[in-house]
Amino acid sequence: MAEPVLSPQEEGKRAAGEAAAALVEDGMRLGLGTGSTVRWVLEALGRRIRDEGLRITGIPTSEQTAARARELGIPLTDFAATEALDLCIDGADEVERGTLRLIKGLGGALLREKIVAEAAGRFVAVVDASKIVEMLGVKAPLPVEVTEFGWESTARRLAALGGSPVLRRRDGAVLRTDGGNLILDCAGFAPIRDPLGLQRELKTIAGVVETGLFLAGAEQAIVGGADGGVEVL
Q: Which of 113, 15, 120, 127 is nearest to 57 (CA)?
A: 120
Residues in binding contact with ligand 5RP, number by CB under 6 A: 17
Q: What are phi and psi of 209, to 5 degrees?
A: -85, -50
Q: For residues 2 and 35, which CB has a smaller minimum distance to ligand 5RP in the complex?
A: 35
Query: Does 110 engage in binding with ligand 5RP (CB under 6 A)?
Result: yes
**Collapsing DSSP states into helix, strand and coil, what is residue 11?**
helix
31 is in an annotated binding site: no
Using CB under 6 A, pick the residue from 11, 18, 93, 145 that binds ligand 5RP: 93
* Per CB under 6 A, 18 contacts ligand 5RP: no
Q: Does the annotation flag 93 for ligand binding?
A: yes
203 appears as a binding residue in the annotation:
no
CA nearest neighbour of 163 among 138, 136, 142, 133:
142
Which has the closest alpha carbon to 159: 209, 126, 104, 205?
A: 205
Minimal distance in Å, beta carbon 176 to ligand 5RP?
14
C-alpha torsion sign, points 129, 12, 168, 219:
negative
Angle at which helices 36-52 and 8-21 pack, to 10 degrees?
Answer: 40
One of 58, 60, 107, 165 touching ligand 5RP (CB under 6 A): 107
223 contacts ligand 5RP (rule: CB under 6 A): no
Report the residue number whose CB is nearest to ligand 5RP. 107
Cβ neighbour number for residue 180 with a 10 Å cutoff: 8
Q: Which of residues 63-92 bind ligand 5RP (CB under 6 A)?
A: 90-92
What is the spatial distance between Cα 216 and Cα 223, in angstroms, rounded to a whole number? Answer: 19
CB of 109 to ligand 5RP, least distance (A): 4
Q: Do 84 and 27 meet the contact criterion of CB atoms below 8 Å apart? A: no
Residues annotated as part of the active site: 113
Task: Candidates 109, 142, 146, 218: give the one binding ligand 5RP (CB under 6 A).
Answer: 109
Which residues are near ligand 5RP by CB under 6 A? 33-37, 90-93, 104-110, 113
Sequence ranges of the binding site: 34-37, 90-93, 104-107, 131
